Chains A and B, each alone.
Chain A
Amino acid sequence: MAEMNRLAWAAAALGATAFLAALAFTGGRGGPGLQPFKPKGLMMIPLEEVREVDVTAPRGHWHFVRTPEGWRATQGTATAGFEARLDSALKFLRNSGPDRVLTAAEVAQAGTAQFGLAPPRLRIVVNGRGASVFAISFGVTNPMGLSHYARLDGSPEIALLPAFVAEEWERTGGTP
C-alpha cells in the first residue's frame, strides 16, 4: 500500500513537472528580451555577403574589396585598423533603422534642395553576392543635428538615419 502511495506521488510530481515544462515552452507571448533581433536598416544585403564597398566623400574616393584574407583597399589610402571601422559601418547600415521616412509627397512639398543630397555629402555603394547592389546617399543633418537625410538610389522617399551611421562611414572614408 505504501509502495503504491509513493508511486502515486511520484507520478503526480512527474505530471506536474511535465505540465510546467509544456507551459514554459508553449504560449503565444514572448518577453521583449526573448524576441529575436531583426535588423531594421535600409540595407538588406547580409553582412557576410558583402563583397565590395565604394565610398565617395568630399575628401576622396575609396574602394574596398573583401578577400579571403580580409578587407583590402583597391582605391584610396587606408591605415591600419580600417577593417574594423568598415565592418562597424556596414553593421550600422544593416541594423540601424531610420528615425523617420519622409514620403514622396512630403519631399515634393518641401523641395529637395534643402536636404543636401544634390550633390550628396557622402555616397556609399555596397555590392553583395551575385548582382545585389545597395546604393545610398547622405545629405545634411536635420535641424536638431541628430539625424542625416539619406536617399536610396531610385527612391522618391528620404529617410532620416541616426547621425552615427553617416559618421561611422565618414570615419571609414576619411582614413588618410
Chain B
Amino acid sequence: MSDQQGLTDLPAGDTSFLHSLLESLQSLDWINLGWFAGVVLALVLLFAAGLKVPARLAFASRMASATLVVAAAVMVTILANVALFRHDAHLDLTHDKAFTPSAEAGEVVRRLSEPIDVVYFYQKQNQAARALGAMLRQLERQNANFRVQQIDADQNPALASSQGVRTYNSAVLRLGERRVEVITTDDREIALGVLRLLRTREVVICFASGHGEYDIDNFEFHTHFEGAHNHSHNVSGTGVVQMEQHGLGRLRRAIEKLGLVARKVSFATGQPIPDDCAAIVEANPRTRYSPGETDVLRRYLERGGSAMFLIEPDYTLDESIAALLAGLGIAVRDGVIVDPTEHYFTDEQMIAVSRYGAHPATRGLALSFYPGARPLEILAAPGVQVTPLAASSGDSYIIANRLGNQTKAKSGPRSSQIIVLAAEGRLEGSAAAPFRMIVAGDADFASNSFFPYLANSDAVLAAISWLTREERAPAMRPPVEVLPTVSLTGEQMRGIFLVTVLLIPGLIAFAGSAMWWWRR
C-alpha cells in the first residue's frame, strides 16, 4: 500500500506503466523461477555437451555403448522432470492475473497456523471454477496447513450430498468441528471464509438507531454525473441527491463477510448498551440526543467500550453529547471544509485524503475521499490520547453557508482541517477499562454510495478493526458489488453531444431540405 501512495506522485501514464510492471514482478515466484531457469540451463548445457563430446564410449561392444548413452539420456530426462515438478514456477501472463491468487488471500493462507481442510465442489465445465481450482492449488503450496481437495460435484453426487452441498462451486472449509461453506469462484471469498472459520468469538457491531441514522438494512445508493457544476452535495443538490435513501447495507454486508455480526441498538429506551457490543457505530444521527441517552453512551465508554461517530456538517450536536466528546478530547466544529487542492474530481467539497496520521487504523491506507465534511478539533483531555487520522490540505478553508457568498471565506486564512480522529484512554481517572473512539466529520464516505470506491471501505473496516481491538488480524477487504461505469472526459462528452444532438439531426434536416429543393 505504501508503494501505491508513492506512485500517486507520478504522472498518470508513468504510474500505470510502473504499477503494472511492479505488479507483474511482485506476482512472480522468484525462488521457484530460479529453480526452473536452473533446470532449463542444465538441460541446455547437457545438450551442448552432447554435441561437443563424442557419444561413443570406450566399450568393446558398440551396442553396450549405445545402450549406456540412451539410459543416461532417459535418466537425465526423468531427473529434469522430477526437478521441475518439485520446483514448479507459476507464470500468469494474463492481463488481470486471472489465475493468480490475490495478495490478501495469499497473506491469509501464509499466516495459517492451524490445519484447514478445503473441499471445493465444482463443475468441470465451468471455466471460472477451474481457475479458482488452480489458485487453490497455488495457495496450498504456500502453507501445509491449507489442505485442498477438489471434487467434481456431478461426478461424485454421494460425496457432495454427504457434505450437504446443493450448489456448484461450493467450498466447504473445516477446522476441527467448525464448518463454513462459501459459494464462489473468487479466491478472496475463500480467504474471507478462512477468516470466519478462524474466528473463535462472536464480535458484534452495534449500529445505533432511533435518531434517523443510516439504516444497515438499506442498500440504496445514488449515481452521480460528475462535472464542474452538476455534482453537488450541498443544498442546491438536494433535488437530485436523496440523502435519506442512503444506507449502510454495503458496510453491513462487508462486516458480515468478515465474520462479524451486525445488530441495531436503540438509545431511546434508556437501557444500557449490551456488553456484547464490541463497538457501536452512530452513523449520521438526524435528531438530537437527550441527556439520558448521552448518559447511556457515557456509561458504555466508561466500561471500556468502543464507538464510532460519523457526523454530517448540517447536524447540530446537543450540549450533552458535545460535553461528552469534549471530555474525550474532541470538538466538532460547524461549517463545511473546502479544499481547492486535494479533492475528488471537480468538487472542492469532496475532500481527498492520501496521507494519514500514524495510527493502527490507518496503516497501509490508500486514497479515500469524504464528500462534504465538517472540521474537528483536538481539545486537552487528561488521560486521553487523541490522534488525527485524516485531514484536508493546508490550502483548505471553511465556509459556513454553502449557498452564501464565499468570497470572504476564500480570501480568509487557510489551514489543514481535521476530518477524522481517534481517541483512546480512560474517560475518568477511576474508569475500569480504556475506551476507544473514532469521530469523523462526515458520514457519507461510509454510505452505500461511496463505500466501495477508492479506499473508503478500507478506511471504514480498518477503523472497525481497531475499535474491536483486532487491528493485528489479517486485513481483508470483502469484494463489494459495484455497477460497471464508463468515465468520460469533458472533451469526450462534448464530442458525443456534438455528434448525437447537433450533427446527426442536422444532417437529416439538411437531407430533407435538399430533397424538397430538388423536387421543387
A and B: interacting chains? yes
The chain A residues found within 8 Å of chain B, CB to CB, are 100, 102, 106, 109-110, 113-115, 140-145, 147, 149, 160
B155 part of interface (Cβ distance < 8 Å): yes
Of the candidates B156, B159, B168, the one whose C-beta lies within 8 Å of that of A144 is B168
A138 to chain B, nearest CB (A): 14
- A140: chain B residues within 8 A (beta carbon): 157
Q: How far is the CA of A140 from the CA of B157 in the complex (A)?
A: 9
Q: How far is the CA of A145 from the CA of B152 in the complex (A)?
A: 15
Pair B166/A144 contact, Cβ less than 8 Å: yes
Q: How far is the CA of A24 from the CA of B121 in the complex (A)?
A: 49
- B153: chain A residues within 8 A (beta carbon): 142-144
Pair B166/A110 contact, Cβ less than 8 Å: no
B167 to chain A, nearest CB (A): 6
Of the candidates B121, B158, B166, B168, the one whose C-beta lies within 8 Å of that of A114 is B158
Pair B155/A143 contact, Cβ less than 8 Å: no
B161 part of interface (Cβ distance < 8 Å): yes
- B168: chain A residues within 8 A (beta carbon): 144
B391 part of interface (Cβ distance < 8 Å): no
A85 to chain B, nearest CB (A): 28
B446 part of interface (Cβ distance < 8 Å): no
Measured as residues with beta carbon below 8 angstroms from the partner, the interface class of chain B is: 10 to 19
**17 interchain pairs, CB-CB under 8 A:** A100-B124, A102-B154, A106-B152, A106-B155, A110-B156, A113-B158, A114-B156, A114-B157, A114-B158, A140-B157, A141-B157, A143-B157, A143-B166, A144-B167, A144-B168, A147-B154, A149-B157
Pair B121/A143 contact, Cβ less than 8 Å: yes
- B121: chain A residues within 8 A (beta carbon): 143
A149: nearest chain-B partner, CB-CB: B157
B160 part of interface (Cβ distance < 8 Å): yes
A92 to chain B, nearest CB (A): 20
By DSSP majority rule, is chain A's interface helix, strand, loop, or mixed? Answer: mixed
B159 to chain A, nearest CB (A): 8
The chain B residues found within 8 Å of chain A, CB to CB, are 121, 124-125, 152-161, 165-168
B160: nearest chain-A partner, CB-CB: A143
Q: Given A114-B159, A143-B160, A147-B154, 15 more contacts at CB 8 Å?
A: A100-B125, A102-B155, A106-B152, A106-B155, A114-B156, A114-B158, A142-B154, A143-B153, A143-B154, A143-B157, A143-B161, A143-B166, A144-B153, A144-B168, A149-B157
A66 to chain B, nearest CB (A): 35
B202 to chain A, nearest CB (A): 31
- B124: chain A residues within 8 A (beta carbon): 100
- B165: chain A residues within 8 A (beta carbon): 143
Pair A100/B154 contact, Cβ less than 8 Å: yes
B125: nearest chain-A partner, CB-CB: A100
Q: How far is the CA of A110 from the CA of B154 in the complex (A)?
A: 10
- A113: chain B residues within 8 A (beta carbon): 158
A147: nearest chain-B partner, CB-CB: B154
- B125: chain A residues within 8 A (beta carbon): 100
- B159: chain A residues within 8 A (beta carbon): 114
Pair B166/A115 contact, Cβ less than 8 Å: no
B274 to chain A, nearest CB (A): 41
Of the candidates B155, B157, B158, the one whose C-beta lies within 8 Å of that of A109 is B155
Q: How far is the CA of A168 from the CA of B125 in the complex (A)?
A: 27
| Shortest 9 CB-CB contacts between residues of A and residues of B | A114-B158, A143-B160, A110-B155, A143-B153, A143-B157, A142-B154, A106-B155, A110-B156, A114-B157
Q: How far is the CA of A114 from the CA of B155 in the complex (A)?
A: 9
Q: How far is the CA of A157 from the CA of B159 in the complex (A)?
A: 20
B159: nearest chain-A partner, CB-CB: A114
